[in-house]
Amino acid sequence: MKGVLKIGHRGAKGHVAENTIESIQKALEFGVDAIEIDVHRCKTGELVVIHDFTLDRTTDGSGEIAKKSLTELKALKVEEQFEIPLLTEVLNLIEGKCTINIELKGLNTATVTSEIIKKFITEKRWKYDDFIVSSFQKNELFQMRKLDEKVFLGILSKASVMEAIELGKLLKASAIHPSLGIITRDNVKASQQAGYKVNVWTVNEPEDIARMREFGVDGIISDFPDRLFEKK
């Protein structure tokens, strides 16, 4: 696919409540190339799509996600109207429409994510090219690599691109995902010369979007994915 990949952050977070089916649908309506979401494992073992380790910021509930059953989580509301989706529900929604970046946010998420990816590749229309798995949690990334040699991994970093490159070598990763605050023209070039795609987050302002394009990044992750289509 030509040009910079347009990636919706937690769906289209700037328009609709993050990590909800409705937010993901909005990103799809904009025509994104990919959608980034976060997963946690709940008490009953399912993978739910939500960013924080706790419920308090984004829902009408409180407490740790890992201590709640799926039934308890499904009874809650995000911004008083939306439901917390399962990873499988998100995959069913976007199948054939775009690719997905699954961030392993919570602990013990790699094994179930690996099982779901393999199931969707085997039983549905998904391919390995349609997935990238990223995380700040090294243990989860190493577990994912141990479970599946084929899955594409992205190294998240908000501290050092060069450290991310070194970790990427150990994990046989395919991409570096640096925060906007640490990215430079030089470390974009260094990452690409080392064989990695560079997908930068979270880029919302038009001037930053333009600068990232000028730096030659491979993908831009934005709360406002519609802005990635604007010509400047």
Distance in angstroms (rounded) separating the CA atoms of residues 183 and 216: 11
- Whether 15 sits among the annotated catalytic residues: the reply is no
CATH number of the structural domain spanning residue 66: 3.20.20.190
Catalytic residue, candidates 9, 15, 40, 177: 9
The whole-angstrom separation of Cα 71 and Cα 140 is 26
The answer to whether residue 51 is catalytic is: yes
Q: What's the pLDDT tens digit per position in 144-187?
A: 999 999 999 999 999 999 999 999 999 999 999 999 999 999 99
Q: Which residue range(s) make up the domain with 16?
A: 5-229
Distance CA 151, CA 118 (A): 9
Query: Per the structure, how many domains does the chain have?
Result: 1
Task: Select which of 15, 40, 51, 177 is catalytic.
Answer: 51
Longest dimension (CA), the chain: 48
> According to the model, what pLDDT value does residue 231 have?
75
Q: Give pLDDT tens digits for 72-111.
A: 999 999 999 999 999 999 999 999 999 999 999 999 999 9
What is the full DSSP assignment across 33-78? SEEEEEEEE-TTS-EEE-SSSBSTTTBS--SBGGGS-HHHHHTS-B
pLDDT at 1: 38
Note if the pTM is more than 0.85. yes
Residue for token digits 């491979």? Answer: 218
Alpha-carbon span 77 to 232, nearest angstrom: 38
Per DSSP, the three-state class of 15 is coil
pLDDT tens track for 180-218: 999 999 999 999 999 999 999 999 999 999 999 999 999
- Do 77 and 12 meet the contact criterion of CB atoms below 8 Å apart? no
CB 58 within 8 A of CB 49: no
- Segment 209-228 shows an average pLDDT of 98
33 touches 1 (CB < 8 A): yes
Report pLDDT digits (tens) over 2-14. 589 999 999 999 9
CB–CB of 20/81 below 8 Å? no
